[in-house]
Amino acid sequence: MQIKNHWSSVFLGSLITDVVLPPDEPLSEKLCDNCKLCMLACPLGFMRRDESQTVALGRREFVCNLKHHHSCCGLSCGGFVGISQDGKWSSWATLRYKVPEDDKKLRDVWIRALNDPDAGYTKRQRFTLTRPERGILDRPQAATQPTCCNCLLVCSGPKEHRARLLKTLHSSGIVVRDKDGNERAVQPDTLDPLFTWELK
C-alpha cells in the first residue's frame, strides 16, 4: 500500500459496514521506484531480493518481490527475533536467533521462541482468544507494541531520505534487554555470543 507523498509509511485503519460503497480507482502512477531499501530494513530478510510475484489488486496487476512465509515476518514484527542475520544491527525484538532461510524450518524456531524464558516480555502483546467473538481485537491498544515495521518506516520520502533512514537503522547497534527489563543498544562486538541460538 502506497499513498502519494507518504510512500508506504502509512498505518491503515478499517471500518466494518454494510453500506455499499464504490471502490476508489487505484493510482495510475507507480509510486515504487524499486529501490529495494525496504528489503534491507528487515532483520530476517522477509522479502526475497531476487524473486518476484504478480498480484492482482483492484483489477490491476502489480509485480512485487516474493516473500518468505509470513511467520518469518511474525518473528521480527511480533517481538521475538530482532538481530539481523549478518549480526550487525537489530529491531526492538531482543532474542538473538540465527533464523534459517528454509521456510519449512520456521516452525521449529517459533516453538523455541515461544518457550524461551527470555521471550517472556512478549506475552502481554501476543494476540489472545479469550473472547472468540472479538478474535484478534481481544488485546488492548496499550499492549500492542510492534517491534519492527522497519520496511514500512524506511519507505518514506525521496530516495536520498530513505537511504539516510536505512543507514541510521544499520548503524544503531543491537538492542538487548537486561534482567530488569530495561532495553539499550550495544555494539555487536560487545556481545558474546552474538547469536544465542541456532537451529541445528
Residue range 79-88, pLDDT digits in tens: 899 999 999 9
**pLDDT for 84-109, tens place per residue?**
999 999 998 899 999 999 999 999 99
Assess if residue 92 is contained within a domain.
Answer: yes
**pLDDT for 110-122, tens place per residue?**
999 989 999 887 7
Assess if residue 192 is contained within a domain.
Answer: yes
Assess if residue 23 is contained within a domain.
Answer: no
- Residue 137 is predicted with a pLDDT of 46
pTM above 0.85, yes or no: no
Assess if residue 57 is contained within a domain.
Answer: yes
How many domains does one find in the chain? 1
Per residue, the 3-state secondary structure of the chain, as one string, reads: CCECCCECCCCCCCCCCCCCCCCCCCCCCCCCCCCCHHHHCCCCCCEEEEEEEEEEECCEEEEEEEECCHHHHHHHHCCCECECCCCCCECCCCECEECCCCHHHHHHHHHHHHHCHHHHHHHHHCCCCCCCCCHHHCCCHHHCCCCCCHHHHHCCCCHHHHHHHHHHHHCCCEEEECCCCCEEEECHHHCCCCCCEECC
Range of the domain at 48: 37-198
Assess if residue 6 is contained within a domain.
Answer: no
Assess if residue 185 is contained within a domain.
Answer: yes
